[in-house]
Chain A
């Protein structure tokens, strides 16, 4: 399955609609990536203002989700898409839900950043957060890229990556707990850090979901809740 396929309908206006829809999803994806980027920057650099800016922009992402959702409904009603086209629409409807949630998590991180910054702590403590942040940013980016290119193999790599993110999150959580036990005055702060880590970990889950929709789009197979070995086998990947 190739991306060009969506431009090969007999109806040219249908081609245009699908092309436009894919572009809108990527535009929304770009905006979400941007918010995530800023949120991580805000928390790592202790930039309270940036944190609040990101948090205040979330409604734009919500609006995009609603607009794309409506467009999907319109296409379902007027075109009655089948096969790959149907799978594209279904994947888009699901993917934008996950993107919107990523936006929510970025907003959460933005607020936490402004909160943490007011505690005036050295930013060095947030190095692990920074690493986890880069990791999930890359996952999200790769998931969107696989979505654009309809690349199920790359999507599978993102799915596999999620395990590592979960491990990193566990590590941060353990660190936070030991810090809080050592010095009870840090409890507020490390609660915030662990909330932020939790938000990043959730973003990894959403990137994984989006990747699963890519695999569904390409192979017509729902791999959710399957073991990875089973997925590789179904996809014919070693």
Chain B
């Protein structure tokens, strides 16, 4: 069975009426034009995601998300909620659009000229893409941790203090200390780094740098933390620490994590979303995705079969 055929095989599972807001603006890229079957599916609003795209207590709610880079369609009609206190893992083969999706959520794609984004993106019901949205504030509320740790070439203290300072979260040095030490503590770094607060962030080990970046992200009290392969350059010990940290943080934040490690996804997340060729194929409880997925493509991916 071809992949496209398998996509169409997905049983219908419509949890909410779809709004096609800007159907005319979404052009199929040239390369996809020779697949009329698939276009029909899409126009009829079929070929939907298997499972349940909704969350009981959504922090972020995305509907009809389409992203193009120039003429290339990177995401097709994605619908997904991210709930409060949940960790959702985004998995899928390289190039399927995971990072693109994550970047939509805090408008990191704004910086890419060729990117064209349609759909609705809400953070606690507020439109993320509204004209009056303060993007700097948005990126504090929806923080991001990247694949390669990227501390500033400044002291450890300054790395964490930077965000709270520009957002005016501390009115005194003592308050700032509280925020910085508290964030390092929650990132599991305080004991290791207490005596080195003036060292440069860049002088730390990779795993420490990544946890420093997480401390920096949580220092500004985010509502959502987005992580794009946060452990891919870390050893198993540093990875285990980050995973514990994710566990810890999930009590207070909604977390979306991209990972290429099936077992990491299985370990850290409660829900898992499987992307394939720009489509969201299946979203369900992580246990289900890894023991008995509902879609053939998900099954092929998580078991390491030829797609």
Residue positions of A touching B, CB distance < 8 A: 5, 8-11, 14, 80-87, 219-220
CB atoms of B291 and A86 under 8 A apart: yes
CB atoms of B303 and A81 under 8 A apart: yes
B 278-299 to A, binary, CB cutoff 8 A, 1 in contact else 0: 0000000000001111000001
Interface of B is mostly: helix
Q: Which of A11, A84, A219 contacts B299 (CB 8 A)?
A: A84
Q: Is B36 an interface residue (CB 8 A)?
A: no
Q: Which of B266, B290, B291, B303 contacts A9 (CB 8 A)?
A: B303
Q: Which residues of B contact A220 (CB under 8 A)?
A: 291-292
10 A-B pairs with CB atoms under 8 Å apart are: A5-B305, A8-B305, A10-B304, A10-B306, A82-B266, A83-B290, A83-B291, A83-B302, A87-B291, A220-B292
CB atoms of B303 and A85 under 8 A apart: yes
CB atoms of B290 and A86 under 8 A apart: yes
Q: Is B262 an interface residue (CB 8 A)?
A: yes
Q: Is B263 an interface residue (CB 8 A)?
A: yes
Mark out the residues of chain B between 248 and 264 whose CB falls within 8 Å of any chain A CB in the assembled complex. 262-263
Task: With A220-B291, A220-B292 as known contacts, state yes or no: A84 contacts B303, CB within 8 Å.
Answer: yes
Tell me the complex Cα distance, A18–B141, Å.
47
Name the distance in Å between B99's Cβ and chain A's nearest Cβ.
22
CB atoms of A82 and B290 under 8 A apart: yes
Residue positions of B touching A, CB distance < 8 A: 262-263, 266, 290-293, 299-300, 302-306
Task: With A87-B291, A220-B291, A220-B292 as known contacts, state yes or no: A82 contacts B262, CB within 8 Å.
Answer: yes
CB atoms of A87 and B292 under 8 A apart: yes
Tell me the complex Cα distance, A86–B303, Å.
9
Q: Which residues of A contact B263 (CB under 8 A)?
A: 80
Name the distance in Å between B268's Cβ and chain A's nearest Cβ.
15
Name the distance in Å between A78's Cβ and chain B's nearest Cβ.
12
CB atoms of A8 and B293 under 8 A apart: no
Tell me the complex Cα distance, A85–B303, Å.
7
Select the residue from B290, B302, B304 with max chain A CB neighbours within 10 A: B304
Q: Which residues of B contact A83 (CB under 8 A)?
A: 290-293, 299, 302-303
Q: Which residues of A contact B266 (CB under 8 A)?
A: 82
Q: Which residues of A contact B302 (CB under 8 A)?
A: 82-83
Tell me the complex Cα distance, A220–B294, Å.
10
The residue in chain A whose Cβ has the minimal distance to the Cβ of B293 is A83
Q: Which residues of B contact A219 (CB under 8 A)?
A: 292
Tell me the complex Cα distance, A87–B262, Å.
16
Tell me the complex Cα distance, A81–B305, Å.
11
Tell me the complex Cα distance, A85–B302, Å.
10
> 10 closest A-B pairs (Cβ-Cβ)?
A220-B292, A82-B302, A8-B305, A82-B290, A83-B303, A85-B303, A9-B304, A83-B299, A10-B304, A83-B302
The residue in chain A whose Cβ has the minimal distance to the Cβ of B294 is A220
Select the residue from A80, A83, A87, A220 with max chain B CB neighbours within 10 A: A83
Name the distance in Å between B101's Cβ and chain A's nearest Cβ.
23
Q: Which residues of A contact B305 (CB under 8 A)?
A: 5, 8-10
Tell me the complex Cα distance, A219–B300, Å.
16
Name the distance in Å between A144's Cβ and chain B's nearest Cβ.
23
Tell me the complex Cα distance, A85–B301, Å.
12
CB atoms of A82 and B306 under 8 A apart: no
The residue in chain A whose Cβ has the minimal distance to the Cβ of B302 is A82
Name the distance in Å between B202's Cβ and chain A's nearest Cβ.
34
Name the distance in Å between B130's Cβ and chain A's nearest Cβ.
41
